[in-house]
Structure 1
């Protein structure tokens, strides 16, 4: 996989630095592209906060390839607003903000975390709302030729999308009911592996549906080489199947140089 297709998740890496210094740190580490989880404290940040974020990306000379929509309080266990009837308006507001940022910074994908199941709210009702909100987001993203990404997650029992097939089912529903074609699977190899997926089957069988890939080793969610996943082999599979998208480094740093594994990593070719 071409090193020029790497993007660094600056919400999980460079955590010792203030958020607005992280794009420059990624640049100094040799990368041209970054991504972030939702980088603001609220779904509708102040214009000055948006401007400061955009300026930090621009001044560092990197591209913002991907960004999450507002997803609630991640530290408290929230995992998205898409299917939450209490926060549907917040989600849509964050779509407008994110797409506006993406238009300025060359963003190609927006991660729409689905949201946890809510006690007392029917799953069918949540799924219907999710389809409508994802269609709203997809239409907005299409105006800048970007994709909406649907991600299976691990560790949160109330998050309903656990396997690649769960995300594909959501994508197909939005395509079928709303005619939106720019929804793709976000294949986070760590989450999929922890949830028991056969990564070889997913990557070879669903390549055309994959819009973005994130990597971390398992167990531990740390640098490649710290766990048992054959990440190099899986990325070679993707390359052989024709994947030409971005690869995100989204892992917890455990060493002074969290990128010291890169020189000897057998990416394969594109």
Structure 2
């Protein structure tokens, strides 16, 4: 099965989930060799405060590969261990805030204008209202920092972790509405990961019809399985077509787990799409 990505939408490759068979700093060049001009990353460092040399190596790897950094996560904790962000964690929000100037500096170097702020899991014994209060405060701080360079801050519903409280588009938008009411966060947007929304039972057609104007970034994988498009049952071509028809013209991040080698996982792209994005 092939999938045609509508003209006007731009593809990028998430190099925190694709090309992981390579060292992190080799992945941008591999994405370029596979025909892509843009990439995105989760937080690419082991700590929220990497040293200057480590940041410089990361920036150089992307610049030398000749690709654009289309998206970057703020520090999100230990993702393999189950963390899903620091935004709403009272005892760890300092780590989140420390990552902001580092991410902003990287973005200024590479032209990135979209940051993903993973909200964080609920903590046993901590009042959810307390978490939501610090979450709103941290999103406002992040939005102001990103706004200084004309960038947006994204909030993402996530599947697979029961403690993560934002599961639907409505969940995430309710948080953004609160921040915007209290702090006028003009540059807060929804990250619409079509895989996560599907797995969580959200109505993609309704989300697209109602909220396209609030979507700042899109990511795709098929479901079930979170593999490349065409391996599951999600009508990704149809949903992307509706997004484009409703005015979305941003990046579509390929955030899937390849069934085999990453470089061999792009056969689902139609020839027309390949010609548009090569």
The answer for the alignment partner of 1:255 in structure 2 is 260
**Which of these residues, 215, 220, 236, is aligned with residue 215 of structure 1?**
220
* Separation (CA, whole Å) in 2 of partners of 1:76 and 1:155: 13
Following superposition, the deviation at residue 3 of structure 1 comes to 7.4
Aligned 8 A contact 2:8 2:244 in 1 = no
Q: Tell me what 1:27 maps to.
A: 32
2:213 pairs with 1:179: no
From 85, 100, 104, give the equivalent of 1:99: 104
CA–CA separation in structure 2 for the residues paired with 1:104 and 1:137:
18
CA distance in 1, matches of 2:145, 2:259: 38
- Rounded Cα–Cα distance in structure 2 between residues aligned with 1:117 and 1:265: 44
* Aligned match of 1:155: 160
Question: Per-residue displacement from partner, 1:93-122 (whole Å, max 9, x unpaired)?
Answer: 111110110011111110000000011110
Query: What per-residue deviation string (whole Å, max 9, x for no partner) do you get for residues 102-156 of structure 1?
Result: 0111111100000000111101110000001000000010111110000000010
Take 2:246 and 2:233, find their aligned partners in 1: how far apart are those partners?
23
Unaligned runs of 5+ in 1: none
Aligned residue among 137, 145, 150 for 1:145? 150
Write the mapping of 1:1-270 to structure 2, written as runs, cut at 5 A. Answer: 1-2=6-7, 5-256=10-261, 257-263=264-270
Deviations 1:239-264 (A, max 9, x none): 11111111000000113411111125
In structure 2, distance between residues paired with 1:150 and 1:4: 20
Compute the displacement of 1:186 (Å): 0.2
- Is the 8 Å Cα contact of residues 9 and 250 (structure 2) preserved in structure 1? no
| TM-score normalised to structure 2 length | 0.94
Determine if contact 2:222/2:236 at 8 Å carries over to the other structure. yes
Most deviating of 248-257 and 34-43:
248-257
Counterpart of 2:3 in structure 1 is none
Q: How many residues matched? A: 268
Deviation at 1:265, TM superposition (A): 7.6
User: What is the distance in 1 between the residues matched to 2:272 and 2:243?
Assistant: 15
Q: Deviations over 1:176-231 (max 9, x none)?
A: 00111100000000000000011111111100010000000000000000000000
Greater relative CO (CA pairs within 8 A, separation 6+): 2
Residues 44, 266 of structure 1: CA spacing in aligned structure 2 closer, same or farther, 3 A cutoff? closer
Secondary structure class of the residue paired with 1:86:
coil
Cα separation, 2, equivalents of 1:81 and 1:42: 12
Q: CA RMSD in A?
A: 1.5
Q: Secondary structure at the match of 1:172?
A: helix
Q: Mean Cα displacement is larger for which, 27-36 or 256-265?
A: 256-265
Q: In structure 2, what is the Cα distance between the partners aligned to 1:198 and 1:166?
A: 13
Cα distance in 1, alignment partners of residues 271 and 164 from structure 2: 36
